[in-house]
């Protein structure tokens, strides 16, 4: 079933009452994939972790529990999503264990080599440039830092047909792994490239070169 354009637009940049509803739905629909990314990162208790496109912020509390001596930051381009994520994690925010900021992936407000682990779940479809986004994530990751990406690829014909092409840009897995390598990453794990996978979205993990 093709998703209405106005619904797809809210997934890219949520706002207003409809955006709040979409955030609630996404918190349930994407949770299993957030858990996959979190498990793949191999989080240590002192890690500084970045969730790029954190949306509703459900993952931030889990990340904080995995890194009790670290720091968790979520970023999202939507002011509404930032507000929802802050409210969801208000106690952790007050304790300064979680921070949520409004930012685009190609302009992350963090120093070079300041993050240990990063994850991006179902957000790279909306980036203006895959290459620019991955280069910026590489910039803020420490050498040896790990990144987990979860996304539906161009091989997922059902997803490609369901979403407006001017809002959702589905890359091939080969394009993603090539962009990661160009940005200075070594691929740790990549599911079989560009083949139909009825089991769901791809998971790619990579380590920033030293």
Segment 108-166, tens digit of pLDDT: 999 999 999 999 999 999 999 999 999 999 999 999 999 999 999 999 988 888 888 88
Closest CA to 146 of 208, 57, 61: 208
Domain CATH for 116 = 3.40.50.150
Q: Give the mean model confidence (pLDDT) for residues 174-198.
A: 81
Q: Is the pLDDT of residue 204 over 70?
A: yes
Total number of domains constituting the chain? 1
210 vs 207: CA distance, rounded Å: 9
3-state secondary structure of 24: helix
Q: Name the residue with tokens 């986004």.
A: 133
User: How far from the centroid of its chain's Cα atoms is residue 1's Cα?
Assistant: 25
Domain region containing 101: 5-208
3-state secondary structure of 114: coil
- Res 49: pLDDT: 98
Closest CA to 118 of 84, 141, 85: 141
- Res 193: pLDDT: 46
Q: Give the mean model confidence (pLDDT) for residues 49-57.
A: 95
Q: Is the pLDDT of residue 194 over 80?
A: no
pTM: 0.89
- Res 2: pLDDT: 58
């Amino acid at each position: 079933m093709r998703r209405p354009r106005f619904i797809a637009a809210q997934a890219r940049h949520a706002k207003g009452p409809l955006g709040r509803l979409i955030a609630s739905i996404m918190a349930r629909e994407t949770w299993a994939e957030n858990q996959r990314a979190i498990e793949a990162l191999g989080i240590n208790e002192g890690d500084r972790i970045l969730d790029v496109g954190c949306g509703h912020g459900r993952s931030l509390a889990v990340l904080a529990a995995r890194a009790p001596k670290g720091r968790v930051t979520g970023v999202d381009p939507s002011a509404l999503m930032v507000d929802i994520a802050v409210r969801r994690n208000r106690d952790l925010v007050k304790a300064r264990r979680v921070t949520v900021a409004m930012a685009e992936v190609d302009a992350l407000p963090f120093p070079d080599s300041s993050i240990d682990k990063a994850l991006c779940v179902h957000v790279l479809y909306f980036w203006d440039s895959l290459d620019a986004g991955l280069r910026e994530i590489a910039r803020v990751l420490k050498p040896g830092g790990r990144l987990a990406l979860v996304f539906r690829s161009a091989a997922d014909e059902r997803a490609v047909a369901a979403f407006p092409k001017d809002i959702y840009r589905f890359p091939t897995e080969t394009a993603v792994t090539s962009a990661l390598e160009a940005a200075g990453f070594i691929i740790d794990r990549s599911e079989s490239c560009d083949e139909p996978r009825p089991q769901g979205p791809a998971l790619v993990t990579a380590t920033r070169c030293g």
